[in-house]
């Protein structure tokens, strides 16, 4: 009987702790800056080490991108053609905010850039790696570990570039640990594990600040004056009159 | 410095533009489009001998501009403005806005500067 009471109390305490963490609302990238508390800024990322067969082509592509940019014809990313970012890059695009919307059994994240939507199913088992149809957002499941929301994502299409545009395989797994470091500063620690492409997992952190009262701005990509030439270079369509 | 600032504001490379240059354009607004993925200003700029050059100026998106204090009704056809821009490396009459002096004298930038 006593053990039941203790177990019940523990569950209640755990539930109460989780319930106190409310991520609801709009969050903008937090860049720190002069005068900011360094503890609030995102810690540095771990080194990016690709397996040799991927490192060579990746460096070659970086160089080609730099050369094209120097000529004023940067190699277009998908965003130039208004293709959304997908996971994990959608979690921080320039200065665009994201909106976190917890509901019963689910946490939905809507981004302002390109109006991307991802759904995190809470306390639900993840599917086996090969059972998720490849897409931009894959399948995300989440659970609270104390004050930290832990999210597991698999099923990201291999054509969707990952962190720093690294290539990835269909074995990529993204683990996020979202935690409030203060009432109004949120960190999302992201670990990318891909045993095919990476020598070891990469971990980096995104920092956000709360935006009370902010109303998300719509983003429908209907006036794209940039275009991509046959070599993949980006150009601006200039009008005569 | 400009390059560093812009890197945080735009969702893709801005290497089409020569951010080492700052060209000042004094002209008349013919178009102001508050659109995604970018807002645009088209500007008629009188040159020597009465010739008018028509410029296409790219801005950030409404979200980013709003964070820098812009409003969707800030400019209209016929407004006189002074824009400081980074021109296209191609030499065409296109550019990326750096800052602009509005008809009412306010100076707005192409995104929030100095904010966390």
Closest residue of B to A239, CA-based? Answer: B56
CB contact under 8 A, A238 and B92: yes
CB contact under 8 A, A238 and B13: no
User: In the structure, what pLDDT confidence band is assigned to residue B10 with cuts at 50, 70 and 90?
Assistant: low
Q: Is residue B34 part of a domain?
A: yes
CB contact under 8 A, A223 and B33: yes
CB atoms within 10 A of CB A15: 11
How many Cβ pairs closer than 8 A exist between chain A and B? 111
Map out the domains of chain A with their CATH numbers.
Answer: 2-236 (2.40.128.20)
Could you give the CA distance from residue B27 to residue B31 in angstroms, rounded to a whole number?
12
Give the pLDDT of residue A157. Answer: 97
Q: Is A36 an interface residue toward B (CB < 8 Å)?
A: yes
Per-residue pLDDT tens for A68-87? 888 888 887 788 889 999 99
Q: Is residue B73 part of a domain?
A: yes
Give the pLDDT of residue A179. Answer: 97
User: In the structure, what pLDDT confidence band is assigned to residue A12 with cuts at 50, 70 and 90?
Assistant: very low
CB contact under 8 A, B88 and A217: no
Give the pLDDT of residue B14. Answer: 79
Give the pLDDT of residue A74. Answer: 82
From chain B, the residues in CB contact with A36 under 8 A are 116
Give the pLDDT of residue A30. Answer: 92
Closest residue of B to A240, CA-based? Answer: B54
Could you give the CA distance from residue A62 to residue B78 in angstroms, rounded to a whole number?
44
Q: Is residue B66 part of a domain?
A: yes
Give the pLDDT of residue A147. Answer: 96
User: In the structure, what pLDDT confidence band is assigned to residue A204 with cuts at 50, 70 and 90?
Assistant: very high
The CB-based long-range contact list for A47-50 (8 Å cut-off, 24+ gap) reads: A47/A202, A48/A163, A48/A164, A48/A166, A48/A202, A49/A198, A49/A199, A49/A200, A50/A166, A50/A167, A50/A197, A50/A198, A50/A199
Residue of B13, B17, B31 to mutate, testing the A interface (most A Cβ within 10 Å of its Cβ) = B13
If you average pLDDT over residues B68-78, what whole number do you get?
95
Query: CB within 8 A of A79, min separation 6: which ones?
Result: A85, A114, B11, B12, B37
Residue of A29, A65, A66, A239 to mutate, testing the B interface (most B Cβ within 10 Å of its Cβ) = A239
Q: Is residue B116 part of a domain?
A: no
Backbone angles phi, psi at B7, to 5 degrees: -55, -30
Q: Is residue B65 part of a domain?
A: yes
Could you give the CA distance from residue A172 to residue B11 in angstroms, rounded to a whole number?
24
Number of domains in chain B: 1
- Among the partner-chain residues A32, A73, A112, the one whose CB lies closest to the CB of B63 is A112
Q: Is residue B115 part of a domain?
A: no
Using the predicted structure, report yes or no on whether residue B84 has a pLDDT greater than 90: yes
Which CATH number does the domain housing residue B90 bear? 2.40.50.140
Q: Is residue B114 part of a domain?
A: no
User: In the structure, what pLDDT confidence band is assigned to residue B4 with cuts at 50, 70 and 90?
Assistant: very low
If you average pLDDT over residues A191-217, what whole number do you get?
96
CA–CA min distance A66, chain B (Å): 9
Could you give the CA distance from residue B97 to residue B95 in angstroms, rounded to a whole number?
6
Using the predicted structure, report yes or no on whether residue B1 has a pLDDT greater than 50: no
Give the pLDDT of residue B115. Answer: 43
From chain A, the residues in CB contact with B14 under 8 A are 74
Count of residues making up chain A: 241
Query: If we measure between CA atoms, which residue out of B36, B4, B25 comes closest to residue B95?
Result: B25
If you average pLDDT over residues B92-109, what whole number do you get?
96
Distance of CA A74 to the CA centre of its chain: 24
If you average pLDDT over residues A21-49, what whole number do you get?
88
Give the pLDDT of residue A17. Answer: 47
Q: Is residue B51 part of a domain?
A: yes
CA–CA min distance B106, chain A (Å): 23
Residue A177, token pair as written in the block: 């640990």
Could you give the CA distance from residue B59 to residue B115 in angstroms, rounded to a whole number?
18
CB contact under 8 A, A79 and B37: yes
Q: Are B56 and A236 in contact (CB under 8 A)?
A: yes
Provide the percentage of residues in chain B whose pLDDT is more than 70: 86
- Among the partner-chain residues B16, B40, B63, the one whose CB lies closest to the CB of A219 is B63
Mean pLDDT of chain A: 89
Strands A226-228, A202-210: pairing is unpaired
Strands A202-210, A106-111: pairing is unpaired
Which residues span the domain enclosing B35? Answer: 2-109
Q: Is A41 an interface residue toward B (CB < 8 Å)?
A: no
Q: Are B73 and B79 in contact (CB under 8 A)?
A: no
Give the pLDDT of residue A10. Answer: 47
Say which DSSP state A160 is in.
Answer: S
What ipTM was estimated for this complex?
0.83
User: In the structure, what pLDDT confidence band is assigned to residue B12 with cuts at 50, 70 and 90?
Assistant: low
- The answer to which of A8-12, A113-117, A128-132, A174-178 has the lowest mean pLDDT is A8-12
Give the pLDDT of residue A189. Answer: 98
């Amino acid at each position: 009987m006593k053990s039941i009471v203790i177990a019940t109390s523990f569950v209640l305490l755990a539930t109460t702790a989780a319930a106190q963490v409310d991520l609801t609302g709009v969050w903008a990238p937090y860049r720190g800056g002069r005068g900011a508390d360094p503890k609030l800024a995102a810690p540095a990322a771990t080194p990016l080490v690709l397996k040799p067969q991927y490192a060579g082509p990746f460096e070659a592509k970086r160089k080609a991108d730099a050369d094209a940019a120097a000529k004023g014809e940067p190699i277009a990313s998908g965003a130039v053609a208004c293709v959304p970012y997908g996971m994990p890059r959608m979690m921080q695009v320039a200065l665009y905010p994201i909106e976190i919307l917890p509901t019963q059994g689910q946490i939905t994240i809507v981004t302002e850039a390109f109006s991307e939507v991802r759904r995190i199913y809470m306390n639900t088992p993840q599917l086996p790696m090969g059972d998720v149809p490849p897409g931009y957002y894959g399948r995300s499941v989440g659970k609270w570990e104390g004050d930290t929301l832990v999210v597991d994502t698999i099923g990201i299409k291999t054509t969707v570039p990952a962190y720093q545009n690294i290539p990835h395989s269909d074995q990529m797994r993204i683990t996020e640990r979202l935690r409030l470091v203060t009432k109004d500063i949120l960190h999302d620690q992201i670990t990318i594990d891909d045993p095919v492409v990476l020598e070891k997992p990469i971990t980096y952190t995104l920092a956000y600040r709360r935006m009370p009262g902010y109303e998300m701005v719509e983003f429908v990509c209907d006036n794209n004056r940039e275009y991509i030439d046959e070599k993949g270079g980006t150009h601006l369509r200039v009008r005569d009159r | 410095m400009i390059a560093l600032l812009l890197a945080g504001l735009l969702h893709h490379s801005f290497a089409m533009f020569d951010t080492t240059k700052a060209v000042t354009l004094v002209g008349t607004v013919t178009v102001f489009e508050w659109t995604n993925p970018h807002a645009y200003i088209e500007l008629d700029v009188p040159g020597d001998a009465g010739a008018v050059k028509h410029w296409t100026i790219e801005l950030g998106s409404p979200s980013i501009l709003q964070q820098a204090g812009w409003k969707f009704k800030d400019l209209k056809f016929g407004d006189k403005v002074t824009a400081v821009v980074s021109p296209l490396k191609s030499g065409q009459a296109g550019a990326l806005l750096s800052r602009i002096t509005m008809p009412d004298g306010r100076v707005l930038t192409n995104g929030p500067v100095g904010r966390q």
